[in-house]
Structure 1
């Protein structure tokens, strides 16, 4: 017996040959020889009646020699049984070791493989001793002496004991393989389903692409991505024996993920095309509307210049020109998006539409800002007290919260609130001039409210109210 995982059984020690015969070979190497030898005493027993009837030729030399012969034969049979059990156990364990070696590359697994190889050397030594003992003595010789039979019994018994000891070592080693073998078998159990899932995912992706093409939509990018997976399928079909179990599992899972993504995108492609068509129309309409709205910015600016100081409107001077430029740029990108849609370059069309949307959003904000500026300045010019009271209310509300459950406020809360009061008073004072900067006043009151809101948020966070 050998200890190399995955190799067929072949004794590593050459057997000695009897001058009268060699061990016959039947189905299992040395094991075949043993099984043949085990059958010989039965043949001899069947021949005894004929010998006593005068038809045999064996000469008998007393009861002691025959007794020793029988004992030697019994020892031989027992050794053969021990040899068979050890051989069977080694073969079974070799399958487990090969399973672990194929799946697990951890230090523990490598150590188990090495330990099994060392045990194989011990098994070979015990087997060599047993085979030598069998080959050294022909228990069927007519002139077998009692001393020879006794010596054969002693050697065969010693060989059996050695085989038993090695079998015990092998059993203990097998008991310790439980966790490693369980882990390996679990991975092997995952292997076939994982590979099958990968194959089905690839088939699903291919079918989805065929359906897309049947609806006269192109999916060249998806087809290219699917083609990349073809070599991976080849490796999966070659099996774990060639590429290893862990690598095959990882490959199968990766192929499944990528093929599923391709399938989902292919199935969504008709909806994606319809969505792009809708966005082309919607954004075109919005660009036209913004063109009309941007034309209204100049009259708004004229009114702002006539009624308010330069500080209230000078940051809006470039809005009309910028709006017109952005709309023209958006329309150019829309034209490119229509071309990409016509050529079914879906990713390019989607990216261009996103650019158009961003341009229109910024233009919309700028155009709206001009109108909103005029509206707010009109309101504060007519009644600045409403903005003042709104800001004072926010400060008073924060002061009440800061004093809740306290005799004196926390300085880190009181200080910014006092600053807010002072800042508001200064902003109010700017309204007393001949040409008040209403926009500065509005931005200051907004800044005061934001500072007060930060103090309120900090107080609530510290007290854990969450609201």
Structure 2
């Protein structure tokens, strides 16, 4: 409605305003205060006013409510942040201190639930927007909300102190977590390098089936690494990443060596085949050597060599069979089998070579001692005398531990020399083994003397 000079502007609230003004005038209030009321009621206001004290209490209660809400928000935020820290620790550390930290955090969580419930109950219990809110109700609301705020702040203080004590555990956990990503990446790069090396080997005509199977077996491990430490734990993830990287590197190295290994096996096949043929020829020469030994020397000098030709022939035949198996394994690219078979062939040929050489060496040594046994005797006596001089160096009497075996060596040499004069066909081989044994005994005594003196000098 539009106001006109003959009809002043009025509103539905005017009668109530006038009534309130009249009431205040009758109560003796200043007219200025009464005149100020219509503005509060003009326009159909939604709240009734009960005086300055009620409104002041309402404002204080609202301030307490806002402060409690801020405390609640800060506590909730701090708890969320701290939960991330605790989860970081539990993902890495299962030590007693870490378990205690988890238990303490759970206890704090229960306390936080309690004070949060008290806060929410206080908020729900007081409607500060009510039109008829009385001063006493507002005062109670302020008291309850202030108490809730104080409890929230007190628990927040406990939470802050707890967070401060987590520093060492959290630092350790974060250090461990920082290792996860690089470790997983190293594992991935290792698998990629192994795959590339395997492809290169295949392009050169090598199947490398066993390496391919080993690489395929790592696929589930890569899946677990991709799932992350959150699902499998930091320590297991680190261990898995290191294991995958180590195995992938082994596969890469072996794949890279495959061409070289194949060439090496090919060379060994040819070399051992040639050696087997040469030993076949040499084994055929053992029988004439044995014939000469039988004709010229006592049986004790050659009896242990009687089966050398037979054993040499059998060893060579067995070596040739193993060579054929090794060649088949090489064609089928069964590298470990080929390598093992070639090692067996080499051992057989070494044994045969030693046996065949033993016959010729025996004849040469027996010929030498038969021509001049004195040379062997003097060689052995010189070793004894040299040890005796060492035993007496710096002493007036020798140590019995040294003198006794040296004296026994002298007697043993004398007995060996006596056997050369005992018959028409002396056992020259027994003589040679005795002198060699004497020299070995003397060498042990010399070593003991030097060790004893070295120990004494150290003290």
Bin for the TM-score computed over the shorter chain: 0.7 to 0.9
How well do the aligned residues superpose, as a CA RMSD in angstroms? 2.1
**SS of 2:420 mapped into structure 1:** helix
For residue 88 of structure 1, the aligned residue among 77, 88, 93 is 77
For 1:14-25, list aligned pairs within 5 A.
none
Distance in 2, Cα, partners of 1:154 & 1:245 = 49
Instruction: Indicate whether 1:310 and 2:315 are aligned.
Output: no
Distance in 2, Cα, partners of 1:399 & 1:216 = 68
8 Å Cα contact 1:51/1:58 also seen in 2: no
Q: Which moved more, 1:359-368 or 1:288-297?
A: 288-297
**SS of 1:274 mapped into structure 2:** helix
Give the equivalent residue in structure 2 for 1:194.
Answer: 183
Q: For structure 1, list consecutive stretches of 5 or more residues without a partner in the other structure.
A: 1-47
Distance in 2, Cα, partners of 1:196 & 1:322 = 58
Shift of 1:259: 1.6
Q: 1:75 to 1:405 in 2, by over 3 A?
A: farther
8 Å Cα contact 1:380/1:438 also seen in 2: yes
Instruction: Indicate whether 1:61 and 2:50 are aligned.
Output: yes
Distance in 2, Cα, partners of 1:53 & 1:145 = 19
**SS of 2:360 mapped into structure 1:** helix
Shift of 1:54: 4.5
For residue 463 of structure 1, the aligned residue among 453, 456, 459 is 453
**SS of 2:132 mapped into structure 1:** coil
Distance in 2, Cα, partners of 1:458 & 1:152 = 100
Instruction: Indicate whether 1:342 and 2:316 are aligned.
Output: no
Shift of 1:379: 1.2
Q: Which moved more, 1:95-104 or 1:323-332?
A: 95-104
Cα deviation code 1:332-369 (max 9, x no counterpart): 11111112212222121111111110000000111111
Give the equivalent residue in structure 1 for 2:60.
Answer: 71
Give the equivalent residue in structure 1 for 2:352.
Answer: 363
Shift of 1:257: 1.4
Give the equivalent residue in structure 1 for 2:404.
Answer: 415
Instruction: Indicate whether 1:297 and 2:292 are aligned.
Output: no
Shift of 1:183: 2.5
**SS of 1:336 mapped into structure 2:** helix
Q: For structure 2, list consecutive stretches of 5 or more residues without a partner in the other structure.
A: 1-35
Distance in 2, Cα, partners of 1:381 & 1:447 = 19
Distance in 2, Cα, partners of 1:50 & 1:125 = 47
Shift of 1:376: 1.0
Give the equivalent residue in structure 2 for 1:269.
Answer: 258
Cα deviation code 1:172-229 (max 9, x no counterpart): 2212222222222222222222222222222222222211111111211111212222
What's the TM-score once normalised by structure 2's chain length? Answer: 0.86
Give the equivalent residue in structure 2 for 1:170.
Answer: 159
Q: 1:49 to 1:461 in 2, by over 3 A?
A: farther
Distance in 1, Cα, partners of 2:38 & 2:66 = 25
Give the equivalent residue in structure 2 for 1:128.
Answer: 117
Give the equivalent residue in structure 1 for 2:12.
Answer: none
8 Å Cα contact 2:286/2:356 also seen in 1: yes
For residue 208 of structure 2, the aligned residue among 199, 216, 219 is 219
Distance in 2, Cα, partners of 1:282 & 1:49 = 121
Point out the structure with max Rg over C-alpha. Answer: 2
Cα deviation code 1:226-272 (max 9, x no counterpart): 22222222222333333333322222222221121111111110000
Give the equivalent residue in structure 1 for 2:444.
Answer: 454
Give the equivalent residue in structure 1 for 2:18.
Answer: none
Q: 1:406 to 1:65 in 2, by over 3 A?
A: farther
What's the TM-score once normalised by structure 1's chain length? Answer: 0.85
**SS of 2:293 mapped into structure 1:** helix
Q: 1:405 to 1:345 in 2, by over 3 A?
A: same
Give the equivalent residue in structure 2 for 1:426.
Answer: 415
For 1:207-286, list aligned pairs within 5 A.
207-286=196-275
Q: 1:392 to 1:50 in 2, by over 3 A?
A: farther
Cα deviation code 1:152-187 (max 9, x no counterpart): 222222112211211121112212222222222222
Shift of 1:308: 1.1
Shift of 1:440: 0.7
